[in-house]
Amino acid sequence: MIKYLELSKVTAMHADEIRSAVARVVDSGWYLQGEQTRLFEQEYADYIGTRYCVGCGNGLDALTLILRAYKEMGVMNDGDEVIVPANTYIASILSVTENGLKPVLVEPRLDTLQVDDRLIEQAITPRTKAVMIVHLYGRCAYTEYIYDLCRRRGLRLIEDNAQAHGCTFGSKRTGSLGDAAGHSFYPGKNLGALGDAGAVTTDDDELAKTVRTLGNYGSARKYVFCMKGRNSRIDEIQAAVLRIKMKYLDAENNIRRSIAERYIANVSNPLLLLPSVEYCAASVHHIFPVLCTRRDELQTYLYNNGVQTVIHYPIPPHRQLCYAGFAGLNLPITERIHHEELSIPLNQTLDDYEVDTIIQLLNDFK
């Protein structure tokens, strides 16, 4: 069976280095807010191209802390609106509702599967305070139009970079394109820890300080609490692991890209809609989505022939029980994507034979 993603293989690529880095932390006796965290934050900020990086517990916390910090800073208030893509992982939207803010969902484009920037302006109301873009599937959702619109309308631009570590736009990296970005290092992400971890990147020193304070119980000075914060920190073991894995991120993203190029060049089955070549050039291919009207049949066929696939995602956020208030929304493109999307295995551990097998099976599907 070709598994969708075998994390043991991902880790095995750098097992010796990871083991010794973890062992050094174990022996050091210092497990939180130490040297590994400080160095990781510095190296990741340099990598992304921002002045600050603040580590936190996970990707959802990173996004939640950004919005919470904007509330503490007086930029946003309860009930204000944040524009978010309708087809995203639920965490993007949870970060908004968690803060007592209102998510306003905007449809994607079918050719890019990213938020349709032409629809953003009409979603703006007097209560809109921010636009959150999500670099879903490892593809850049940022456009200069969105940036200019946010500047013109006085809105903060927030990036959800959980799926796109290393993705570029021109000479910049996603995570440095807006006012602040949330990153997840969930094990299955392109840059994954061996547990939960996340980070916020920004050039804004007040925001960086506020996020750091909020993630540390609301305390900037020990036992002095200026905000009602929470505990959301990255731990030393995860920071040490991420420092090792970061060194290989670009090379591993290049392997992902070359596999994606092989899929695109060789899969010619008219029943399948693959991403376009041009659009993929800068993608880091966290996920390789294929659209097929007979998606469930395709998934069963691949499984019966030894290939495991995953659906990202089977139910769109506005159809989830927890968001019953959205149930009346009419979002046909989002729903179509959620009905037709199937993610084909794509990661740096696949060998040539596995890629060829997958291509052959996709072409043989009738």
Ligand X SMILES: *Cc1c(COP(=O)(O)O)cnc(C)c1O
Q: Which residues pair with 273 in a beta bridge?
A: 291
For residues 74-83, b (16+ Cβ closer than 10 Å) or e, as one string? ebbeeebbbb
Question: 44, 47, 70, 89: which one contacts ligand X (CB under 6 A)?
Answer: 89
Residues 118-177 that bind ligand X (CB under 6 A): 134, 160, 162-163
Count residues contacting ligand X (CB under 6 A)? Answer: 15
Distance CA 87, CA 340 (A): 13
Shortest Å distance, C-beta 334 to ligand X = 14
Identity of the residue, 192 or 272, whose beta carbon is nearer to ligand X in the bound complex: 192
Shortest Å distance, C-beta 134 to ligand X = 5
Q: Does 298 bind ligand X (CB under 6 A)?
A: no
Neighbours of 328 (CB within 10 A): 7
Q: Does 88 bind ligand X (CB under 6 A)?
A: yes
Question: 58, 202, 216, 232: which one contacts ligand X (CB under 6 A)?
Answer: 58
For residues 115-138, b (16+ Cβ closer than 10 Å) or e, as one string? bbbeebeeebeeebbbbbbbbbbb
Q: Does 235 bind ligand X (CB under 6 A)?
A: no
Q: Give residues with Cβ within 8 angstroms of 219, minimum separation 6.
A: 213, 225, 226, 229
Given the residues 102, 189, 222, 366, the one annotated as active site: 189
Distance CA 150, CA 30 (A): 42
Instruction: Considering only the stretches 40-48, 52-60, 219-227, 326-334, report the one whose residues sit in contact with ligand X under the rule CB under 6 A.
Output: 52-60
Shortest Å distance, C-beta 146 to ligand X = 17
Q: Give residues with Cβ within 8 angstroms of 59, minimum separation 6.
A: 91, 160, 162, 182, 183, 184, 185, 186, 189, 198
In the stretch 174-203, what mask flags binding to ligand X with x, by CB under 6 A? Answer: ----------x-x---------x-x-----
Identity of the residue, 178 or 198, whose beta carbon is nearer to ligand X in the bound complex: 198
Shortest Å distance, C-beta 16 to ligand X = 26
Identity of the residue, 98 or 203, whose beta carbon is nearer to ligand X in the bound complex: 98
Question: 64, 92, 114, 213: which one contacts ligand X (CB under 6 A)?
Answer: 92
Shortest Å distance, C-beta 141 to ligand X = 10
Task: Report CA dihedral (157, 159, 160, 161) to the nearest 10 degrees.
Answer: 180
Q: Report which residue's Cβ sits closest to ligand X.
A: 59
Identity of the residue, 108 or 198, whose beta carbon is nearer to ligand X in the bound complex: 198
245 among known catalytic residues? no
Q: Which residues pair with 200 in a beta bridge?
A: 54, 182
- Characterize the bridge pairing of strands 52-56 and 156-160: unpaired
Nearest to 243 by CA among 18, 7, 11: 18
Distance CA 239, CA 261 (A): 32
Distance CA 136, CA 139 (A): 6
Shortest Å distance, C-beta 20 to ligand X = 26
**CA angle (311 as vertex; 309, 317 as ends), nearest 5:** 165
Identity of the residue, 164 or 361, whose beta carbon is nearer to ligand X in the bound complex: 164
- Footprint on this chain of ligand X (rule: CB under 6 A): 58-60, 88-89, 91-92, 134, 160, 162-163, 184, 186, 196, 198
The residues annotated as belonging to the active site are 189
